[in-house]
A and B are shown apart, each in its own frame.
Chain A
Amino acid sequence: MVMAETNVVRADGIFQPVLPKGDVVDMAKKRREPDAEKAKFACRDVRVFYGASEALHGIDMEIANSGVTALIGPSGCGKSTFLRVFNRMNDTIPNARVTGDILMDGEDIYGKKVDPVLLRARVGMVFQKPNPFPKSIYDNVAYGPRIHGLAVSNSELDYIVEKSLKRAGLWDEVKDRLKESGTGLSGGQQQRLVIARAIAVSPEVILMDEPASALDPIATAKLEELIDELKEKYCILIVTHSMAQAARVSQRTAFFHLGDLVEYDDTQSIFTNPKDQRTQDYITGRTG
């Protein structure tokens, strides 16, 4: 997907074009490349409690800086809970408590100085059920840039909206009805709108919580295609209950079982040569 160059790109760092191509792309790549193989997140002994019950029992894991990492496991295994650790969405649940260290680029995201609101701007999230705001398509995408002050002019905002929608592969379908409500779109379109909404904030990471579970197969295929393109620019974590999906879109896969991280490896290895019996049972369909 090639972005048209526009003259509203500002170079002062307030607004970085979302997924730019050409010169600006190089700039973005430069930022990323030196540490491409380093971990984006490093987790040590992460535990999550809901009230008194422990949902995650000490997870140690490193998430690669690029590519797609899939979290799989039977329902109730804690994979979604784990995903919500990375953007501190668990903070919004009363009684939920997270312990252990989660370092993002070496910085503890649960540190005292970290504002979860700003963290969430850096770590976007896409939910299981598409949740567009009951606003126009345009306002849905523009909402994030507006609250974070990413655009100083309307034309700049238009630019961000357009780029984000293009990047999410939705532009051609909605460009003539940007003023219509986002809730009027189909499920697959809504989910891509929500991704565009997340992209518009210029995150570094995108968390996806079973993003295809509410979609039909065709919309799912489109979404997977999109994830495949996005992985070039973003560190993506995806929770999925579909092993086929994990195999298709991810480079690395982590298998969770009853709140424990059982196995974490290249996707290839997990699916062809699982080392743990539980993993094997799960991927061969004996449990689940």
Chain B
Amino acid sequence: MSAFESIHQSDRAVKRMTRRRGQELRFRLFGLGAVIAAMVVLAWLTISLVGTGYTAFYQHHMTLEVFLDEAVLDPTGERNAENLRKANFRKIIQEAIYARFPEVSERRQKSALFKIVSASGATNQVRQMAYANPALVGRTLTLSVPTSDDVDQLLKGYIDRDAPEKRRKISNQQIVWVDALKATGEIKSQFNWTFFTGVDSRDPELAGIAGAVVGSLMALAVAFVVSVPAGVGAAVYLEEFAPQNRFTDFIEININNLAAVPSIVFGLLGLAVFLNFFGMPRSAPLVGGLVLALMTLPTVIIATRAALRSVSPSIIDGALSLGASHTQAVFHHKVPLAAPGILTGSIIGMAQALGETAPLLMIGMVAFVTEIPSGLTEPASALPVQIFLWSDSAERAWAERTSAAIIVLLMVLVTMNALAIFLRTRLERRW
């Protein structure tokens, strides 16, 4: 100890310091705990989604020998489209699967047997082939048809084989058949292309996200075309041309408030104005896009203004000193220099629009759409809405597909945000 004994070196102060250090440590640990808690939830979210969703990316198919019996499909032998349209393809599939298990004769057993394959999936597949090539009728084809969702779930291990038979969606007998087929390699798992190329369906094994993705892309395109030019224009006006007056203040307040209006209110606006007042079609990507455009407008405006502000004002002075008009200085120099920031803001705005669901529900983009929309005014769904629709179904097969659709959505969003960050760091100019 030194010659001078400060009160801050007394035993009491030192003891007190130990206590204060303890407080300090606790405080710090609380902070760290909060960070860890947030990370844990994020990890939990990811794991739970990937854990339920990854199995949707593969699906079990069954190889089936299908005899396109002329007697069933086209007894008159005319082979015209009319006859084929009426033809009972379902029976063809039934016969095919009964033929695989000739020992099964009882009616209820047969019906259980048929439930191994996806009835509408297999039927549609054969029908498409026969339509495309009527000459196939009378021939025997080796086809790979999707199994029913219950069989698929069984083989993915989601159905408890030890549970009492009555509480299972699949009977003991069916399990025996499936296991036999699996053992011979007649049932195999393969990449689930249907999920990416298919549209919404009542049967999970046939459902895909293509329709919803196209709907989302259309709505997003409309939103982009409307909100980016309008947003950039508004931002340039407010930053560069707007006089200091009450009207400008009013616009500014408006934009700030719009940014915080709940998205569902934009949906109500779309319903009341676009659908009821202007009579635009329900469920259309055009209306969805317009609503999303209005919703993302403040984001684009705010990002663009920030980008414009970060450009040194000396650029304008330099251009003016060369005899450029103010408008020329802004559009020739300032806006191009702010372009990376504007681009980043637009991408982030579009990412926000892509994930938005609530306003689309209001304007009816929540319909059961079984076709890929072909135009901006056709009924369509959107990827987040599709997720919402599927999430309502209780079956395990739907939960799996919902999670998979979420994984796709999140991947797209991550890509968009990564692109925004990449562009920002890549194109950003340091002053």
Q: Using a CB–CB distance below 8 Å, which chain A residues touch chain B? A: 13-16, 31-32, 34-35, 38, 104-107, 115, 117-118, 121-122, 147-150, 201-202, 204
Contacts and interface: CB of A to CB of B under 8 A. Distances in A.
B392 to A, nearest CB: 51
B4 interface: yes
A35 B2 CA distance: 11
A106 B7 contact: no
Tell me the interface secondary structure of chain B in the complex: helix
A202 B4 contact: no
A120 B353 CA distance: 53
Interface string B1-32: 11111111110111011001100000000000
B6 A115 contact: no
Contacts of A106: 2-3
A105 to B, nearest CB: 3
A105 B2 contact: yes
Contacts of B5: 31
Given A118-B8, A121-B8, A34 B21 contact: no
A16 B16 contact: no
B12 to A, nearest CB: 6
A105 B6 CA distance: 11
Contacts of A105: 2-4
A13 B2 contact: no
B16 A13 contact: no
Nearest to B21: A115
B2 to A, nearest CB: 3
Q: Which 9 A-B pairs have the closest CB atoms?
A: A105-B2, A121-B8, A122-B8, A122-B6, A149-B16, A16-B7, A107-B2, A118-B8, A105-B4
A35 B13 contact: no
Interface of B: 1-10, 12-14, 16-17, 20-21
Nearest to A65: B4
A118 B13 contact: yes
A184 to B, nearest CB: 30
Given A14-B10, A31-B5, A149-B16, 20 more contacts: A13-B7, A13-B10, A13-B12, A15-B7, A16-B7, A31-B4, A32-B4, A105-B3, A106-B2, A107-B2, A118-B13, A118-B17, A121-B13, A122-B6, A122-B9, A148-B8, A201-B8, A202-B7, A202-B8, A204-B4
Given A118-B8, A148-B8, A34 B3 contact: yes
Nearest to B8: A121
Given A117-B20, A118-B13, A14 B3 contact: no
A35 B4 contact: yes
Contacts of A32: 4
Contacts of A15: 7
Contacts of A150: 7
Contacts of B14: 118
Contact of A104 (B2, B16, B20): B2
Contacts of B3: 34-35, 38, 105-106
Contacts of A13: 7, 10, 12
Nearest to B18: A115
A31 B7 CA distance: 12
B10 A204 contact: no
B288 to A, nearest CB: 48
B404 to A, nearest CB: 44
A104 B8 CA distance: 14
A35 B14 CA distance: 24
Nearest to A107: B2
A170 to B, nearest CB: 23
Contacts of A31: 4-5
A10 B224 CA distance: 74
A105 B5 CA distance: 10
A107 B14 CA distance: 16
8 contacts: A14-B12, A32-B4, A34-B3, A104-B2, A105-B4, A147-B20, A149-B12, A202-B8
